[in-house]
Structure 1
């Protein structure tokens, strides 16, 4: 019997991947794009859903790390697991092997379902996980390290040394900039972000129109 011809998957909507190191201001930039009507598909939000009570990632995390990393009320004991994976690179890789494929699958499904002219994929570890191919364009939010450390300290109360350890576990500033098609400079305040986001939004609408 002759084989049936395979159908190519439908083309996905135009996608821009948003990334940046901790404290760079990714969330502020994503919020400004959302105010302009852009769909933001947030990897962190998906991760939280996967690890909330009843989340699909809890069973494999339990099997890999033990019941002590789970909580009845919150699903995942985030502080305990964070401490463990930052102290043990092998543990971090085990966690990433569980979460990243699940997050990627849900991001791709959300992107395929999006009806807007383009979507923003907010992926903090885009460069570290080699996922630049998920999008048509990479947007990096950039800020000096000292400013990022200060921002994280004000936001979360972490000591500078703790923030530096997190920064050291991420891609370097140079690596992110090398992967960027576009860069937003977030060395200033939120008001300085708006014109940059507006200009990029106009550019992405043009690119998305040509993509169709």
Structure 2
């Protein structure tokens, strides 16, 4: 080995020692650690986004199913006269009409929100679509809850009546009608539960990862 090669072999470890003394080597290690943390953060956020998309599909089916079931609820009793026909339909009650409109709006919103949910899967670290979905989901949850609660109150009266107000229970006569509207109300409460889960997952994904 020549003197030039010997001096180069000595200078390399000395240069590395000086870099470590100045704190440059630990910075490289810390930078690598931060990259791994960012990758891990994007991984679990992508998982949350996939769950969000699946839940939205379920909420869409529940909301549109509730609107369709209530909107097609109709029953005519077999006995009627020339002047009177005993029929029960959802549009006989303004509460059920509001229920159909509200659930149709919620179902339409959920369909339109699916592309934004896909964006959060492709870009799991993007906060804009998540914030937008969180705000709109809160509004949709309020509308769904009000429609479900109002429909449940009328269904309760249809099943049990109110003797103090002389309201008779009609489900003994209109069994099919009551079964359809009851199923619609149950489906709306399923949508409420899914919306609550969506809001929780969105808030969880938006929190800062330390």
TM-score (norm 2): 0.27
Greater relative contact order: 1 or 2 (C-alpha under 8 angstroms, separation 6 or more)? 1
Greater share of helix residues, 1 or 2? 2
Greater share of strand residues, 1 or 2? 1
TM-score (norm 1): 0.26
Tell which structure's C-alpha radius of gyration is larger: 2
